[in-house]
């Protein structure tokens, strides 16, 4: 178990964004996609206690240590994926949604997703005409090792490539689209199975939306660099 | 009330808005509905309006045979036909310096919330969460009346006779699932998935609330050295400075023959 506590004061009626000092792990159990290794998951629990009150709130989530990279291969034009530095051959399935009346249940999700894992899939592609899938969907993809390609709500047919061509500039309210996209990213971003956000199906979102999404979804530079050199493995050991 | 999340997924009723003569304020104060009185039905929450109508056998299940053809499409019925009230009650008694939020993880497409006679508007958008601080509008006796009026997408569209992918594409004007107008693999959904389609919950906290933690792992030395970076938003809902201690604990499931003593 890794445990760390920080003290901080929060002014009345306000909110603060706080980054805890990072936790160091030596050779953590890594999360691997279906067929490449174990889906090791850690339990992360965050608790805030307030002086003269006691426990005020807590939050917990399964978390998997993994690094997912993908890029367009110049030879084939296809997108190549790597997980924890190892190339992976994607065996993916199209996913629209569990039920057209949105009777979405944990039991249904577990059954559907385990079925795909048993079929030896290692990716689910959530199609842009369907849903931003729910936390329960991602929970079982975490458990069964199915990477998730999650599209935002743009399709060629409805956004500028249908016949007749319709909505060439996508949805009427771009600010609303970005508000929904940002909130969806916050809802889903901690799941190890989440591998790729995609603008839409067979269509690039309108320029302003696409630019904003690309900017918002970049990893913050703070996380790109290794710690100062004193944290070398030798010292830690 | 215990700190934590309480899911509200039982004891919901629903009724077509055009068949209810009371306002949201009246429904949540002087005239709360009773489940066995028409036009109120047992409701599926989370779920859609059509899921509730199918459950109450007021329409056939659209996934059998050509039953979907016998269900009135929103293009012909008008949006008000699928604009529904959802109602429930819940208990909640807070101790001093406790706070409670009412959370909707997703609504399609917009809604008005009434709690004990107070109104809040939930703005449009199928893929966004809503959270309302209801600490100061709870009933003192602990019994609370909640009514939600849910509106369909603004542009439900009309399905052309030849069908096609995305029907007449009107749904693309909204920020909502587009398959609901029908696709090459799917018949149109008559209510366009209108409803409280994801979890409704209460989150009870002390003066400080944790919001949307962000966990980021970074790796070095060929995955031997890893760091877990955690950023949280902390909201102090009280009217005095909160001296906090924030704790993060990361543990692994016990595996195999390892037992905790």
* B127–A contact, CB cutoff 8 A: yes
Q: Tell me the pLDDT tens digit for each residue of A52-84.
A: 999 999 999 999 999 999 999 999 999 999 999
B37 touches A at CB < 8 Å:
no
What tokens were used for B11? Answer: 């004891």
Residue pointed to by tokens 């079982």: A140
Contacts of B49 in chain A (CB under 8 A): none
Write down the number of H helices and E strands in chain B: 3, 13
Chain B residue numbers with beta carbons less than 8 Å from the beta carbon of A36 are none
Query: Chain B residue closest to A100 (CA)?
Result: B189
Structural element, H or E, at residue A68 = strand A68-72
Nearest CA distance, B37 vs chain A (angstrom): 25
Tens place of pLDDT for every residue, chain B, 261 residues?
Answer: 789 999 999 999 999 999 999 999 999 999 999 877 899 999 999 999 999 999 999 999 999 999 999 999 999 999 999 999 999 999 999 998 999 999 999 999 999 999 999 999 999 999 999 999 999 999 998 899 999 999 999 999 999 999 989 999 999 999 999 999 999 989 999 999 999 999 999 999 999 999 999 999 999 999 999 999 999 999 999 999 999 999 999 998 766 777 665
Report how far residue B203's alpha carbon sits from residue B209's, in angstroms, rounded to the nearest whole number: 9
Interface contact A27, partner B, CB < 8 A: yes
> Which residue stretches of chain A have pLDDT < 50?
227-237
Buried b (16+ CB within 10 A) or exposed e, B159-172: beeeebbbbbbbbb
Record: contact B226-A28, CB cut-off 8 A? yes
Contacts of A170 in chain B (CB under 8 A): 172
Query: How many residues are present in chain B?
Result: 261
Tokens of A164: 């007749």
Q: Which of residues 6-35 of B touch A (CB under 8 A)?
A: none
- Catalytic site includes residue A230: no
pLDDT at residue B260, rounded to an integer: 60
Question: Does residue B137 contact residue B101 with C-beta atoms inside 8 Å?
Answer: no
Among all chains, which residue has been given the structure tokens 């809040």? B120
């Amino acid at each position: 178990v890794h445990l760390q506590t920080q003290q901080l004061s929060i002014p009345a009626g306000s909110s603060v964004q706080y980054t805890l000092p990072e936790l160091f792990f030596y050779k953590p159990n890594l999360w691997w996609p279906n067929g490449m290794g174990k889906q090791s998951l850690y339990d992360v629990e965050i608790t805030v206690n307030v002086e003269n009150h006691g426990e005020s709130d807590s939050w917990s989530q399964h978390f998997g240590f993994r690094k997912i990279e993908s890029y367009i291969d110049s030879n084939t034009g296809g997108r190549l994926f790597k997980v924890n530095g190892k190339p992976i051959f994607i065996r993916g399935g199209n996913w629209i949604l569990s039920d057209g009346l949105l009777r979405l249940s944990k039991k249904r999700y577990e059954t559907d997703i385990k079925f795909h894992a048993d079929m030896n899939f290692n990716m689910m592609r959530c199609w842009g005409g369907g849903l931003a899938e729910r936390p329960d969907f991602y929970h079982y993809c975490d458990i069964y090792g199915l990477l998730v390609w999650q599209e935002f709500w743009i399709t060629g047919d409805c956004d500028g490539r249908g016949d007749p061509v319709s909505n060439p500039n996508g949805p009427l309210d771009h600010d609303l689209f970005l508000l929904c996209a940002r909130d969806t990213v916050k809802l889903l971003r901690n799941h190890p199975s989440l591998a790729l956000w995609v603008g839409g199906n067979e269509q690039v979102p309108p320029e302003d939306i696409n630019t904003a999404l690309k900017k918002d979804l970049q990893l913050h530079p703070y996380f790109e660099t290794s710690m100062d050199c004193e944290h070398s493995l030798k010292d830690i050991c | 009330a215990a700190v934590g999340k309480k899911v509200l997924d039982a004891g919901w009723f629903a009724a077509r808005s055009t068949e209810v003569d009371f306002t949201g304020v009246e429904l949540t104060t002087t005239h709360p509905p009773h489940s066995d009185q028409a036009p109120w039905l047992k409701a599926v929450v989370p779920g859609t309006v059509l899921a509730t109508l199918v459950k109450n056998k007021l329409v056939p299940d659209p996934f059998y045979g050509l039953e979907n053809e016998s269900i009135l499409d929103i293009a012909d019925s008008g949006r008000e036909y699928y604009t529904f009230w959802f109602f429930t009650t819940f208990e909640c008694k807070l101790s001093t310096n406790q706070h409670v939020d009412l959370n909707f993880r997703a609504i399609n497409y917009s809604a008005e919330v009434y709690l004990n006679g107070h109104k809040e508007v939930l703005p449009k958008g199928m893929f966004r969460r809503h959270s309302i601080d209801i600490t100061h509008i709870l009933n003192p006796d602990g019994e609370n009346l909640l009514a939600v009026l849910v509106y369909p997408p603004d542009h439900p569209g009309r399905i052309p006779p030849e069908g096609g992918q995305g029907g007449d594409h009107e749904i693309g004007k909204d920020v909502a699932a587009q398959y609901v107008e029908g696709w090459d693999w799917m018949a149109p959904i008559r209510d366009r998935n209108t409803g409280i389609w994801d979890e409704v919950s209460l989150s009870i906290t002390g003066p400080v609330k944790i919001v949307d933690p962000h966990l980021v792992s970074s790796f070095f030395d060929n995955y031997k050295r890893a760091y877990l970076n955690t950023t949280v938003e902390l909201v102090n809902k009280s009217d005095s400075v909160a001296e906090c201690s924030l704790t993060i604990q990361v543990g692994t499931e016990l595996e195999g023959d390892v037992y905790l003593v």
